[in-house]
Structure formats: structure tokens, C-alpha cells
């Protein structure tokens, strides 16, 4: 029932992704060697750059855990973009009303964002359970609509008039996560992400509920005949998935942005999905996969700042990963039924 990681396949895909970057740089850049220098070495040039890419790693871990839990339960959650954004916004707004509660206020605000995104994702699970609608479609469409709603709220009723950014008011200092590697943005959010990996791994591999969730994902018919509550395990993985996406958004606000900035999370959900695909939905494998992808993101950002290529080069890596991993999965599935 455990999804095994095909390490040779993953290594080949990673090498192909890096090769795609190199080829693209030579095609698009006027000074490819300079661009490649900043792409591969830029993220390691000092504590500021190292801290920033490790900070991105923490958010990717939360998001990848979210997608992986849904997949382990046999569901697809393509709503990560909106769920990260929506969870971040709700967590931000929650801080304004919880500030007087002292030390319990920060976790409560994070939980509010996680609960909101969890319910949004569970809605797709309910639609699947009740009317058989495809959660691939509903999670994506609801996410798209949610992004539009949050954009309106951030740019309208909750806009901070004292800043030039399209953003909410800043959260109070008591909600801001402690910095680890100043002057970078690295915060204790990375530690919480690693703890989340431990918790999710224990849940999936050592608890009865986790076993039943994975059984539902592996063989729904067998799960039904075994007495597992199929209805519950259609909703529960989706709720958990959305909740972890919401935590990714909340941690981004508490650790880095300190306010919900309009569309700050653009691309985070898809990057987290790519990380989960590399890791084959296994919690422990998400850590090195997130480290790899965060490094590539940081490299793209450095190359953009110091050369003539755009940040969209990371999309090439993402596309290569999506294409080859999904092709491999479809080939295996076809072989199984053929």
C-alpha cells in the first residue's frame, strides 16, 4: 500500500529539469555563463541568500504535505493556490481580533486560517460524495474564485491606506515568528514545517485513522468491504489537505510578509504540488524535495536580478517535473490495467 519512490526515475527527472534550465539559459540569455553562475551559486552566497531559500522551503513543505495527504486518501486537491491565499488572509484578519488573548493568540490565528482552507477543500469532497463531481475540477474552480474574492477584500475593505502596497494592515509583533538567520527572512516556520512532517508521517504510518485513509486511497472497494467509513474518508483527507495549505499561507504571513499582500502566494500551490510529485507523496521525502525546489526558486530569483532572464525560468523546471512524473504514473497505471 505504501507508494515506493523510484529513486532512479526521480534522479533522471531532476537531471532533465536542470538540463532544461541550462538549455533555456543558453537560448534566452545574452551572457549564459553569468546567468548560470547566479542561478546555481547565487542561493549560497552568504547567510542572507541561504536563509531566504530555506525560508521558502518551509512553506513548500506545508503545501506539499497538503497535496500528499489528499493523494494518499485517493483524492486530488488542485486548489492549493487559493487555499494558501485564503488561509493567509483569514489568519491575518484573525490576529486583529485575537491580540488580547496573549500567548494563545498566534496558534489560534493560524488554526483559523487552517480551518477555513480545510473547509474550502472539504467542500469539494462533499460535492464528490454527494453528486459525484470531479474534485480535480471543483478544487481548481473554487480556488480560482477564492483568489478573486480575497483580491477584492485585500484591495477594498481591508486595504491598509498607510502603505503603497495593496495589502492589509500588518499583524502585531506578538504574531510574528522569531527570525533564525538574520538579516534573512528565515524564521521558526521552518522548524514547524519539519515538526509537521514528523506528525503527518506518524499519523499516516502509525495510526489506525492514517491506515484507513491510505486504504481508501489504495482501494476504495476493499475499504468499503472492510467496514471503513468511505464517506468520512472522502471528506477527511480533503479537509486535512486544505488545512495544511492554509497553514502554509499563515506561516508565510507570520514569518515573512506580516500582512496579506495581494497575490503574494502566486505559484506557491503549484510549486508545492511539484514537490509532492517528486516525493511521491511520502512525508519524509518531501523534505529533500522541498530543499531542491526552494534552491531552484532562489536560483531563478538570483538569475533574474543579476542577468537578463526572467523569474519564469522556474516554470520550465515545474513543467518538466509535471510532464515526466505524470507520464511515468500514467505508464505504470496503463501497464497495470493492460
For residue range 59-96, list pLDDT tens digits in order: 999 999 999 999 999 999 999 999 999 999 999 999 99
Average pLDDT over residues 222-228: 90
Average pLDDT over residues 312-332: 73
Average pLDDT over residues 25-51: 91
For residue range 184-195, list pLDDT tens digits in order: 999 999 999 999
Q: Which of 94-103, 239-248, 306-315 has the lowest mean pLDDT?
A: 306-315
Average pLDDT over residues 22-49: 90
**What pTM was estimated for this model as a whole?**
0.93
Average pLDDT over residues 269-273: 94
Q: Which of 46-50, 142-146, 151-155 has the lowest mean pLDDT?
A: 46-50
Q: What residues contact residue 297 under an 8 Å CB cut-off, 6+ apart?
A: 53, 56, 271, 314
Higher pLDDT, 16 or 247: 247
| CA 38/CA 20 separation, integer angstroms | 16
Predicted confidence band at 326 (pLDDT cuts at 50, 70, 90)? confident
First-last CA distance in the chain? 20
Instruction: Report pLDDT for 138.
Output: 98
Average pLDDT over residues 247-266: 97
Among residues 204, 243, 196, the alpha carbon closest in space to that of 73 is found at 204
Q: Is cis: bond before 183, omega within 30 of 0?
A: yes
| pLDDT, the chain, mean | 91
Asked if 322 contacts 277 with a C-beta cutoff of 8 angstroms, the reply is yes
Predicted confidence band at 231 (pLDDT cuts at 50, 70, 90)? very high
Considering the chain, what percentage of its residues have pLDDT values greater than 90? 72
Instruction: Report pLDDT for 337.
Output: 47
Question: Is 90 exceeded by the pLDDT of residue 270?
Answer: yes
Q: What residues contact residue 267 under an 8 Å CB cut-off, 6+ apart?
A: 81, 314
- In order, the DSSP letters of 79-115 are -HHHHHHHHHHHHHHHHHHHGGGGGGHHHHHHHHHHH
Q: Which of 141-145, 320-324, 328-332 has the lowest mean pLDDT?
A: 328-332
Report residue 232: phi and psi, to 5°.
-60, -40
Residue with C-alpha cell 454527494? 130
Count of residues in the chain: 338
Average pLDDT over residues 44-66: 95
Instruction: Report pLDDT for 12.
Output: 84
Considering the chain, what percentage of its residues have pLDDT values greater than 70? 95
Predicted confidence band at 5 (pLDDT cuts at 50, 70, 90)? low
Instruction: Report pLDDT for 334.
Output: 52
Domains and CATH numbers, the chain: 7-333 (1.10.3470)
Amino acid at each position: 500500500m505504501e507508494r515506493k519512490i523510484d529513486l532512479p526515475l526521480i534522479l533522471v527527472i531532476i537531471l532533465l529539469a536542470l538540463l532544461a534550465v541550462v538549455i533555456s539559459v543558453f537560448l534566452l540569455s545574452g551572457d549564459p555563463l553569468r546567468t548560470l553562475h547566479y542561478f546555481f551559486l547565487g542561493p549560497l552566497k552568504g547567510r542572507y541568500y541561504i536563509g531566504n531559500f530555506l525560508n521558502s522551503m518551509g512553506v513548500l513543505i506545508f503545501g506539499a504535505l497538503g497535496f500528499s495527504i489528499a493523494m494518499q486518501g485517493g483524492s486530488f486537491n488542485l486548489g492549493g493556490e487559493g487555499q494558501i491565499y485564503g488561509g493567509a488572509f483569514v489568519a491575518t484578519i484573525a490576529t486583529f481580533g485575537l491580540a488580547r488573548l496573549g500567548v494563545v493568540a498566534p496558534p489560534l490565528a493560524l488554526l483559523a486560517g487552517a480551518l477555513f482552507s480545510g473547509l474550502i477543500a472539504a467542500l469539494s469532497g462533499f460535492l464528490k460524495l454527494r453528486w459525484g463531481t470531479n474534485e480535480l475540477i471543483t478544487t481548481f474552480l473554487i480556488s480560482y474564485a477564492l483568489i478573486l474574492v480575497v483580491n477584492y477584500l485585500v484591495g477594498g475593505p481591508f486595504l491598509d491606506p498607510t502603505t503603497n502596497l495593496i495589502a492589509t494592515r500588518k499583524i502585531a509583533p506578538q504574531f510574528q515568528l522569531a527570525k533564525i538567520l538574520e538579516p534573512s527572512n528565515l524564521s521558526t516556520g521552518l522548524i514547524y514545517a519539519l515538526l509537521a512532517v514528523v506528525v503527518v508521517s506518524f499519523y499516516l504510518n502509525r495510526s489506525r485513522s492514517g491506515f484507513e485513509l491510505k486504504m481508501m486511497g489504495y482501494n476504495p472497494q476493499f475499504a468499503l468491504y472492510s467496514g471503513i467509513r468511505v464517506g468520512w474518508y472522502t471528506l477527511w483527507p480533503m479537509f486535512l489537505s486544505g488545512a495544511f495549505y492554509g497553514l502554509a499561507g499563515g506561516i508565510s504571513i507570520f514569518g515573512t510578509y506580516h500582512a496579506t499582500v495581494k497575490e503574494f502566494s502566486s505559484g506557491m500551490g503549484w510549486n508545492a504540488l511539484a514537490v509532492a510529485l517528486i516525493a511521491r507523496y511520502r512525508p519524509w521525502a518531501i523534505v529533500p524535495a522541498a530543499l531542491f525546489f526552494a534552491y531552484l526558486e532562489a536560483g531563478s530569483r538570483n538569475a533574474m536580478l543579476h542577468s537578463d532572464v526572467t523569474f519564469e525560468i522556474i516554470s520550465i523546471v515545474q513543467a518538466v517535473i509535471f510532464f515526466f512524473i505524470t507520464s511515468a504514473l500514467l505508464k505504470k497505471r496503463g501497464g497495470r490495467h493492460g
